[in-house]
Amino acid sequence: MGKTQKISIFIYSMSGGGAERVMSYLLPYLQAKNYEVVLVLMNTKIVYPSIENIRIHYLEKSEVVEPGLVKFLKLPWLAWKYARFLKKERITHSFSLLTRPCYINIMARWFTSHPYKLMVSERNYPSLQYGYNDNQSKINSFLVKKLYPKADLIISNAKASAEDLIANFNVSREKTGVIYNPIDLEKIDGIVPNNSLFNSSHVNLVSVGRLQLVKNHQLMIEAIAPFKNVRLYIFGEGELREDLEAQIDNLGISERVFLMGFESNPFQYLKAADIFVFSSNHEGFPNVIMEAMACGLPIITTNCKSGPDEIMELNETKSDDIMITDYGLLSPVGNAHLLQKSINYCLEHPEYLAQCRVNVKKRIQDFKREPILELYTSHILS
């Protein structure tokens, strides 16, 4: 099976991230099914031991931090190099993830007549991800509009992302597909809860995510401030740490809100917490919500584009109130009052939280790893 098919999986690096994690599952899965697969990287960082038996080709070995202009100007040269690789290796299927590899994958067709199925994966909500008014956003928005329609297939990890590409980036519906991110349920199920952090006399809320503007931790900190019996633990590190520390001090809640830093195994604490809270301005498809559900946690989240409403099967979207689902609550983006109202609803309805804990464990089965990896295989090789 698959003897004449040779697949290139092209991604910037294999550092920790949602797209990288999915590929750390998919690469050995394809190899186990006897497909010939090559991993193409642009940076040497690898944190996933599951790919140790996968052949790796480095298109370049770049620094993580490069000037934006340099990145832009290098695109045609890297596309030429990738085109040579595709022809030399007789690649039949080329699948790229994340912005620059996707541009290079598409541009490679300028430099070769070698036939290959060209697929890219969009893992953000493009109108928001590239909607800022800076030069980088403008360039990315232009490139997505000009290049993505030339791909044979664009796989999004959320329906909203695919619809955005169709509505705003000249992509035809026939070229789109949606595959949700998979969750390694067996791994999470095997993790033992750690109760050492939490005070049982309080309601313990947990959030996980980098301390950066798009995650809008400021919103959840503001929302949590009035609740004397609630504690919030934020796992993640980033450039906004000092700003968030100042906000916590100014609100006088340093004994109830804690910045925990990066944690390689947040599942041990998720399993021991009471509620998961998330306040992003926009996302692609937030794995962390699914991971919290796999740990049995009710969810409180902003209804950001894209992902939360699909994960939580929201039937009706409101812009002026909280939205109650079988798995938790959603509130409009950027509204601290309504996020606060969501928290208060959970505190006043313990029977609802108990039912959410049951429901999330059922819902997360829809994101089991193997069926989703088989979907990837069928889309790539069709």
**CATH hierarchy code of domain 6-178:** 3.40.50.2000
The alpha carbon dihedral of 67, 72, 76, 80 has a sign of positive
Q: Where are the alpha helices (DSSP H) in the chain?
A: 18-32, 68-89, 99-107, 126-129, 135-147, 159-168, 185-189, 217-224, 241-251, 267-270, 287-294, 308-311, 336-348, 350-363, 369-381
- Mean pLDDT score across all residues of the chain: 94
Distance from C-alpha of 42 to C-alpha of 64, rounded to nearest angstrom: 9
Residue-wise pLDDT for 297-339, tens only, equals 999 999 998 899 999 999 887 788 999 999 999 999 999 999 9
**CA angle at residue 80 from 79 to 84, to 5 degrees?**
115
* This prediction's pTM: 0.88
pLDDT at 2: 42
CATH classification code of 186-367: 3.40.50.2000
pLDDT band, residue 340 (cuts 50/70/90): very high
323 forms beta bridges with 330
List where CATH 3.40.50.2000 sits in the chain.
6-178, 186-367
2-6, 56-60, 93-97: least confidently modelled range = 2-6
pLDDT of residue 1: 42
For the segment 13-34, the average pLDDT, to the nearest whole number, is 91
